[in-house]
Structure 1
Amino acid sequence: MPEFVNGLPLHVLVIHAVVVFVPLGALGTLAIAVWPAARRRIGWVVAGVVAVGTALTPIASASGELLQRRLPENPLITAHQQLGDQLIYFVVPQLIAVLGLMVAHTVSAQRADDGAAGGQVLVIIAAVLAVGLSVAASVHVFRVGDAGARAVWEGVANLPAK
């Protein structure tokens, strides 16, 4: 994996994508959880957005570790790195729950087309679980980002202006 792209650390580029895709996937998950028409139209697109955020998470973590090796020891960076390493444990369950919601929806819709009853309870359970895990993933993305921003920018406001 390259450490730099056009002179910028890969980590800086990838984390911005994670910061966009994980919360965007959470917003989409909320929409498809509460609005069946949205679930039919964009449910699998939302699952794709969540999958992209999930796939980018280990790349962000690995590129961050490469960048950390170039920097002096710093407890703020260490705290950011520890939180960043935990993010995968939030985004994978989020992805599984969103995929579960879409599978439950698809099966329920097929059963309804065949005249069979039921399936909606499973969709509701999957929707609640997907929303809860999406909120948790988004909150953790915020925590990781906040720790990273503090590691980079802490004390900058106290520097003299040129």
Structure 2
Amino acid sequence: MLAALAVIGPISALLAKLSGDAFFERMRERNRVTEGFIPVIEQHQDFGTNTMWAAIALGVVTLALVYFVGPSAVAARTAGGPGGTRVMSIALTVLSVVAAAIAIYYVVRTGDSGAKAVWEGQ
């Protein structure tokens, strides 16, 4: 289940970014975006790009955590096969927490900038 979410999350972030970019281009083609509003939208796009990369990083770290630290890795290590070490477990856990914090930060910033753009015209 966790591995599936690690793949679905970044794909969702990518699709959200692509749909937002397409919407912005469609609005520009129809001259429905004023020149003064473009920097606001570009800031929102930048946050969206950072959100996408943060989601991808979190997905990669989560997949590594599942592969090297999950139950199958523990069973392999117990049976004498390749499996993650304790140091790797700690490192991947710390990386996953940091990646999650960064992803949350950018999701909040992206949502906030989009909401302000829509509701306040900023």
Q: How many angstroms apart in 1 are the aligned matches of 2:110 and 2:84? A: 41
2:47 and 2:15 mapped to 1: Cα distance? 15
Q: Do residues 126 (structure 1) and 92 (structure 2) align?
A: yes
Matched-pair identity in % = 30
Gap runs ≥5 in structure 1: 1-44, 156-162
1:88 counterpart residue number = 52
* 2:19 aligned residue: 63
TM superposition outliers: structure 1 runs of 4+ over 6 Å: 115-118
Query: TM-score, normalized by length of structure 2?
Result: 0.78
Deviation at 1:118, TM superposition (A): 7.4
Name 1:159's counterpart in structure 2.
none
Which structure has more relative contact order (CA 8 Å, sep 6+)? It is 2
One-letter amino acid matched to 1:82: D
Residues 108 and 123 in structure 1, CA contact (< 8 A), matched pair in contact too: no
Q: Does the C-alpha gap of structure 1 residues 108 and 119 become closer, same or farther in structure 2, counting only changes over 3 Å? A: farther
Alignment TM-score, normalising by the size of structure 1 = 0.61
Q: Provide the aligned C-alpha RMSD in A.
A: 2.3
**Which runs of 5 or more residues in structure 2 are unaligned?**
none
CA contact (8 A) 1:108 1:119 kept: no
CA contact (8 A) 1:94 1:137 kept: yes
SS at match of 1:72: coil
Given that residues 9 and 59 in structure 2 are in contact (C-alpha distance below 8 angstroms), is that contact kept between their aligned partners in structure 1? no
| CA distance in structure 1 between the aligned counterparts of 2:81 and 2:68, rounded to whole angstroms | 16
